[in-house]
Amino acid sequence: MIQLARKLRLRDYFALAFGTMIGVGWLVLMDDWLGRGGPFGAMLAFGIGGVLLLPVGYVYGEWVKRLPDAAGEAAYTAEVFPPIVSYFTGWIMLLAYFIVCPWEAVAVGKLAGYLIPSLNSMELYRIEGQPVFLPRLLLGILLTLFLGVLNYRGIRGSATFQGWATTTVLVLFAIVALGSATHGSVRNMHPGFSAAPLVSILLVLQIVPYFMTGFESVPKVAEEAHKEFRSQGFFRAIVLALFVGSAFYVAAATAAAFGQAMGTQWPVHLILIAAMFGLFQCFNGNFVAASRLLFSFGRRGTIPTRFAEIHPRFQTPSTAIIGVTVATLAGLFLGDALLVPVTEVGSMASACGWLAASLSLFLIESRLRVRFVAALGVFVALLLIAMKLVPKFPGHFTGAEWIALAVWLLLGAAMHWNRPAPTRRTF
């Protein structure tokens, strides 16, 4: 029986988790962060958010040692919940990873347009008033096809690409942060909070989960660990990604506020280049996670089993990779206007996956210490879900987000119930 290639080590898992977490959003939405909470509010919110997610990271570390399965949350919930709950838990988590792929494919053209303004030409059509330019569209198509081929030909090449992209992001950002500290002004940090300190922190804290999503991608490639890799390494990669990711966002908010009006353009160009590499690593990380989830569904027969095919030479989930590539290309043509509501749903989907994993561990675990941490994970995940679903919270779901969620769930139902009867299995 052909199995997935086992070639990943600790540095690969860290690069995957960190890369899936850190994309280009920190640059695009920096003004929103500072507007919501001010420099100190943004810094404290991301620092607190990283700490709050530690129990959830611990839960995933425990689960991946128990059950190194590419199905992730779907496999975990199958231990204690009915098969249908397990399937839709995994399906909604798939949305959290997949929707990032077309979003990044769109964003690469937008980001490149800042560096090369001539790309913002040859308008093809508009969606919700947003133009779609041919050069930017072609750039997104080329990047999607490149990552599709890269992942199709082996996890080792994908992991190497991820490692180089992560290293480049960290090095370039360190240079920018040092420059802002050298040439910036403390005066730019005032006012420290946009409103009352607590309100400022909470306004930013509610968006932290969206930017911190990615550490839980490690279990999706747990089956591809090197034969000498020890299971404790999964937990180390998750925690390290949480700490470094949180510190990155805190530093980004600090550098953006402290370094305003430096009077020079080189940091701007360097930031754009760093963001471009961040986009590459985020796109690739989410592509890997989405394809492995799709592969695991096919392997268990909860969707058509052709998605479980493994390439005999490259030992990759070839059909699942092709599926994610095609779906990403389709989403790319929609433009960023229609992807915004689905992205909001993706943020909530991550919290649903965290809740399912934490609750399942709480119900199945007998050790008191582990159950306590799992309970903390349940509380944190419930709070994050409430921020999106309860109308009293700012930034809650609008009608567009509810429609996007319903469409995704209906698509999952169609995939599940239209699978061939002889292959029907459950998680």
Q: Enter the tokens of residue 409.
A: 């769930």
Q: How far apart are CA 282 and CA 23, in angstroms?
A: 5
Residues 6 or more apart whose CB falls under 8 angstroms from that of 42 comprise 33, 34, 36, 204, 253, 257
pLDDT at 261: 44
Q: How far apart are CA 364 and CA 79, in angstroms?
A: 8
When pLDDT is cut at 50, 70 and 90, the band that residue 420 belongs to is low
Question: Domains in the chain, ordered, with CATH?
Answer: 10-423 (1.20.1740.10)
pLDDT in tens, 240-294: 999 999 888 888 787 766 655 444 556 677 778 888 898 999 999 999 999 999 9
pLDDT in tens, 18-44: 999 888 777 777 777 778 778 888 889
Mean pLDDT, range 198-204, rounded to an integer: 82
pLDDT in tens, 131-186: 888 888 899 999 999 999 999 999 999 999 999 999 998 898 888 777 766 666 66
Q: How far apart are CA 155 and CA 298, in angstroms?
A: 19
Residues 6 or more apart whose CB falls under 8 angstroms from that of 66 comprise none
pLDDT at 262: 45
Q: How far apart are CA 66 and CA 128, in angstroms?
A: 47
pLDDT at residue 106 greater than cutoff 60: yes
